[in-house]
Amino acid sequence: MKPTTRLIAFVVVPCLLLCLVPLKSSMADNASPEDSAAPVLQRFESTDSPISVLAEIVASKSQVAVPMQYFVTIDAPPGATVVLPPIAGVSINETEKLSIVDQPLGDFLLTGVAVTRDVPTGAASGARRTKLLLDIESLKPGLRQAPALEVAYRLGDQEGDTTGTAAEGTVRIPALGIEIESVLVADDAPDKFRGIKTAMATPVDDPVPPNPLLALMFVGVGTLFVGFFWWSRRGKCAKPERWALQRIGELKQAYDSNQIDTAEVYADLSVVLRDYVQSACNTPATALCTSEFLDVLGRDGFGDGAISGARSILTRADVSKFSPEVEALGEDGNSPFDQARSVIEESVRLQNLARQRKAGSSAVQATMKTARKAEA
């Protein structure tokens, strides 16, 4: 081999090898995601944990801008504490239902959160169920994924456990995804637009100033109509006690026909009492707490029986807001409908008594005035 050829081979061959190494590495990098990519799940269910976790993305139609739902259902043994997975920007463990404006959740937009906690499943084991519902949507087609989530739990003290420590741990929900279809069809060409036609100049007539007399006539007719309507309805307005008693009767009929449950009865009766007292006694009862409301009744001279009935209704209405399990009506021997009627009837009695005292005071003043005139 000639010296020149040997020199060329010595210089060119290492350069070719150096060029081929980055090319091979680049090809390996491009091929690795396809070779190692794992399938994206749309549904996950835990099988090896003390608690049962089911997560699933449900979509009636997986298209761009179509609302979807991300369900997480957790069944835990009695006495267990479940901590829902944290969601960025949302106090997930401090709300029951929340509307959100386009909060990012992985490749999706989070638009709403609903939480149901510690509900009995009806199983013989006494398990309790917690549900997390996330309203999501996507504005881009293709494979969209939600981030991985973790559910933390702490079991209650087990029988025979002398250490006093409860088992705890987490269940990891992997990143779930769904294929989002585009709303464009095959014939759509988003990059092609029709040309804009040339604008044609149109002569504009000079505006005619409006006649103020027409506006004054319109205002006058409207005022007369409103006044006539108020005059015609003035004598037809029901008294507060009349509509309150009617509403109590409607609630009793709805409860007897199983249209509403016990918690709804106490909640609606509480609203009826507050609205009635606010209207009849000129007191902002709807803005008062239970103790303040009872203080108003005592200050206005309500009897002990009426106050006791009101206390029973308002207290159970407050309890039903936090605990759906309220004892059945009449278990204590008192009907809440009768207790509500007693408050209304006591208020009417006090109003009649006040009118009688006022009429008697007016008669006494008129007699005294007549006597003074006679003496003069």
Q: Which residues of 75-110 are buried (b: 16+ CB within 10 A; e: fewer)?
A: bbbeebebbbbebeebebeeeeebebeebebbbbbb
Reply yes or no on whether the pLDDT at 34 is more than 50.
Answer: no
CA 3 – CA 232 distance, rounded (Å): 122
61: closest CA among 186, 182, 185, 190? 182
Q: Given this model, what pLDDT does residue 19 score?
A: 53
Q: Given this model, what pLDDT does residue 272 score?
A: 92
Q: At what angle do helices 336-375 and 262-280 cross, to 10 degrees?
A: 10
DSSP H or E run through 81: strand 81-83
Reply yes or no on whether the pLDDT at 351 is more than 70.
Answer: yes
Reply yes or no on whether the pLDDT at 55 is more than 90.
Answer: yes
pLDDT-derived band at 13, boundaries 50, 70, 90: low
Mean pLDDT within 32-57: 76
pLDDT-derived band at 36, boundaries 50, 70, 90: very low
Mean pLDDT of the chain: 77
Which residues touch 264 (CB under 8 Å, ≥6 apart)?
none
CA 131 – CA 233 distance, rounded (Å): 50
Q: Which residues of 336-350 are buried (b: 16+ CB within 10 A; e: fewer)?
A: bbebbbbbbebbeeb
Q: Could you give the domains of the chain?
A: 43-157+167-180 (2.60.40), 240-365 (no CATH)
273: closest CA among 312, 238, 304, 236? 312
Reply yes or no on whether the pLDDT at 194 is more than 60.
Answer: no
Mean pLDDT within 210-219: 75
Q: What is the pLDDT of residues 279-291, one digit of tens each?
A: 888 888 888 889 8
3-state secondary structure of 350: helix
3-state secondary structure of 359: helix
Q: Given this model, what pLDDT does residue 31 score?
A: 47
Phi (first) and psi of residue 244, to 5 degrees: -65, -45
Reply yes or no on whether the pLDDT at 347 is more than 60.
Answer: yes
Q: Given this model, what pLDDT does residue 35 score?
A: 44
Reply yes or no on whether the pLDDT at 250 is more than 90.
Answer: yes
Q: Given this model, what pLDDT does residue 246 score?
A: 92
Q: Given this model, what pLDDT does residue 249 score?
A: 92
Q: What is the pLDDT of residues 195-205, one digit of tens each?
A: 555 656 656 56
In total, the chain counts a number of residues equal to 376
330: closest CA among 266, 284, 238? 266
